[in-house]
Each structure stands twice: as structure tokens, then as C-alpha cells.
Amino acid sequence: MTTDDQARTPTGRRRAAGAHHEPPLNLRRPGWPTFSSEAVPWDPSTEAYGPRTGRAQHRGPYEAAIAPTIADAHVYLSSAASALVAEATAEIARFDGEALGATTSFAALLLRTEASSSSQIEDLTSSAKAIALAELGRNGRANADQIVANVTAMTSALAHAERLDPDAILAMHQALMARHLPKDAGRWRTQQVWIGGSSRSPHNAAYVAPTHPRVPAAIDDLVAFAGRDDIAVLAQAALTHAQFESIHPFPDGNGRTGRALLHAQLRNGGLTRTSIVPVSAGLLSDTARYFAALTIYRSGDIEPIVTEVAEAVFPALANSRQLIADVTSARASWGEQIHARRGASAWGLADLLTTRPVVDTKLTAAELGISTVNAQLAIDRLVDDGVLEQIGHGQRDRVWQAGEVLDAMEGFATRSRQRVH
């Protein structure tokens, strides 16, 4: 069985502007436990349904990983990596301070962009418009629906940030997979999973995760590590993420759940209070390097994954600031376009559009606390003033979009995919 992580071969290197020279990725750091393995019998129950050719390759025992305990493991980083973590931490704190001092909160917008970027790492792509339509219940594009589910998972992660325990992790996965994998959503897996190789068996796979009976204890150990207060939060979140991905506790959705957990840990550790740091957007420019760092982590070298996450902070926040500037500029221009009395619902709708650029009367009424009749009047006002335009030409179940905000979100996505040298 293949899952939604790491199915790539590492190539190339992404580097944030001004980043320091770092040691080779194969440099082993002392003090961190390595993954071991065990021989596991394989029951080829589906062999009769596969081709006869190559059956011998899928018989006999296979090697599955054993996750080491890390609850009390010593975290050693080189001085260069420690300095990078400190610099990235300071940048996050600065960004969080900007968010606290701003008159408008863009947390909801950044959460949506992070959910989209995290999904793109798993090759789930969709336009900002399609995602916004899916949020309104306009279904039809599977990727957009799954990205919306990831928004829900991210929201759940932040809601559980004060209590990072196994139940919180299960709740994140439940929010992510409730619609797309209802039988397994919010439950630890009950079968073997692996990455790469053949779907017929784990033989010759690139990585075989621990057997499913080992998952609960491994997660308990992970949670104990995540609860420590003697490690820099950003480095701790990166290591928790790498350990989680290596345990691979679910049949699907491990990558997205793991990155949601990373955000919950940043919030739990007090590194972010109100803002969202779209780390996935920073990782997206070179996913091969990110996957390679996760692989190397299992050999006991923790520095690559810590470096990847820390370096991702800088382009992610630069991109976020540009997105906020673009949306803020659009909102300022609307102030000159909108012809409505002070206090009219049209102004509240204009503010709503900065984080929800596609609306209908039901959403508008619910968010502004007004009737659907008044919601339609506010929408009509913004249509007449050139802020909104209707999607399509139907007269029933109508939807409107703020094109400038959607363009800003697409710009964010485009910048996220650009490789940084």
C-alpha cells in the first residue's frame, strides 16, 4: 500500500536568501536514536488475483521499521543550525507581532493558503476559486473538496493546540478524512502501510512503516516528546513532525495531518498566538529536499529536517506579507469605489471578502448577522460598485467573487512553487 508522503526521489536544493552554508545531509548527529527493523511474516492473501510473473518477489517475510523512543532523547544541533532556528523563531515572533497589531486579521486567509500548500505537497492542486466554491458546498472537483477538508483539519489542529495528546491527533485526522475515508477517519491504522514499491506487498518498498500494533505506543512516546519544554519550539515541532511521518499512523492523510500537527505545536509552544505561518508554502518550492530530510531523519540525523522547516519560514513569511499587502491594497481601493452609507452592510461584506473572496447570500447573512434580504442588498451594492462579479449567469443559487482577492491568492500559490536558489 502506498500513502500520501515521500513518493519522490530527492534532487536539488532550496535555500532561503542569506541562508548560511550547512553541513552535508549525510552527516550523522550524535545522540538521536535511529529507526531499526524487524522481520514480519507476509500473508499474500491477494496473490491469486495478481499476475503470475514476479510472485516470488512478494513472498516471505519483509522488514518493517521500529520507531525508537524519543520522549527523553537529547536534541543536538550544530551552532549553525541552532542559529538558523533562532533566526527563524525571531522572524515568526515578528510576524506574529505584526498580526497582533494589525487592524484586520488575515489568519483565516493564511490558514486557507497553508491548507492548500500542504495539499499541493501531496499533489492535490486546485485553483483558489474552485476551493472557495467548494467551501460554499459547490462540489464537483475532488481535489478542491479535499483541500477544504484540510482547512477543517488545520482548524481542528489549532482548536486542540492546548492539549496535544493522541485524541487531539485523531480529531485532526477525523476532520481531514471524514468525507473521503470515513471508515478509517480518526482511527489508528489496522494494516501495514509502506511507501514506494508495489501495491501488492511491502517487499522492495522504499520504506515500510512500523507494524500497526506498534502505533499507539509510538504515538504516546511522540506526544511525550512534544510536551517537553526544554527544546526550541520550532526545532521540536520539526522533529515531532518527522517522527510522526515515520510512524505513519494512518492508512492515508499522514502528510497533511502531520503538517497540521506542526502548526498545533507552534501554537502550543507559544511561538504563534494569532497568526498562521504557512510553512508548507515554504517547503513546496523543493519538496524533494523535504522528503529526503524525512528519510534521513530515520538514520539518526535530525539536522536536515530541522533545517528544512526553519529555512521554509523565511520564504513563507515573505510570501505571506506580499499576500497581505495585495489584499490590503485591494480593500483600500474599494473604499473609494463603494457608495454606501457609513455602517451599511456593504462595508462589512467588503471586509469579509478579504478572507472569503467567494460568497453567496447564505454565507453573507451568516457572517454579517443579517437577513438574506439584506445580504442580497449588500451584494448588489458591491456588484454595482465593481467590487463583486457574479460567477456564471444563472438566476438561482447564485455566487459572487472578488476577483482581486482571488488573484492575490493565486499569486501566493505561484510564488510558493518557485524554487529559491
With H, G, I as helix, E, B as strand and everything else as coil, classify residue 367: helix
The whole-chain average pLDDT of the chain stands at 88
Q: What is the pLDDT of residue 56?
A: 53
Over residues 154-208, the pLDDT tens digits come to 999 999 999 999 999 999 999 999 988 999 999 999 999 999 988 889 999 999 9
**Three cell numbers written together for 214:** 506498534
**Three cell numbers written together for 74:** 537529547
**Three cell numbers written together for 334:** 474599494
Lowest mean pLDDT among 4-8, 118-122, 402-406: 4-8
Tell me what the mean pLDDT of segment 246-259 comes to. Answer: 96
Catalytic site residue from 58, 241, 248, 263:
248
State the fold for domain 62-320.
Fic-like fold (1.10.3290)
Cβ contacts of residue 355 below 8 Å, gap of 6+?
105, 106, 108, 109, 112
**Three cell numbers written together for 309:** 522547516
Q: What is the pLDDT of residue 103?
A: 65
Place of cell 517522527: 243
Does residue 20 have an active-site annotation? Answer: no
Q: What is the pLDDT of residue 61?
A: 92
Query: What secondary structure does DSSP assign to 285-303, as a single string?
Result: GGHHHHHHHHHHHTTT--H
> How many other CB atoms are there within 10 angstroms of residue 230's CB atom?
6
- Where in 34-120 does DSSP place strands (E)? 36-40, 62-66
Query: What secondary structure does DSSP assign to 134-185, as a single string?
Result: HHTT----HHHHHHHHHHHHHHHHHHTTT--SHHHHHHHHHHHHTTTSTTTT
Q: What is the pLDDT of residue 274?
A: 86
Q: What is the pLDDT of residue 392?
A: 79
- Select from 389, 421, 384, 393 the least CA-distant residue to 407: 389
Tell me what the mean pLDDT of segment 131-141 comes to. Answer: 81
- Where in 356-402 does DSSP place strands (E)? 358-359, 389-390, 400-401
DSSP 126: -
Place of cell 552527516: 27
Cβ contacts of residue 85 below 8 Å, gap of 6+?
77, 232, 234, 235, 306, 310
Lowest mean pLDDT among 44-53, 113-122, 307-316, 371-380: 44-53
With H, G, I as helix, E, B as strand and everything else as coil, classify residue 334: helix
With vertex at residue 229, the alpha carbon angle to CA 226 and CA 233, rounded to the nearest 5 degrees, is 65
Contact 349, 368 (CB under 8 A): yes
Domain boundaries, the chain: 62-320, 338-415
State the fold for domain 338-415.
Arc Repressor Mutant, subunit A (1.10.10)
With H, G, I as helix, E, B as strand and everything else as coil, classify residue 18: coil
Binding positions for ATP: 252-259
Q: What is the pLDDT of residue 245?
A: 98
- Select from 199, 198, 170 the least CA-distant residue to 184: 170
For the chain, state the CA radius of gyration.
23
Q: What is the pLDDT of residue 25?
A: 41
Binding positions: 252-259
* pLDDT, greater one: 326 or 275: 326
Q: What is the pLDDT of residue 139?
A: 66
Q: What is the pLDDT of residue 2?
A: 40
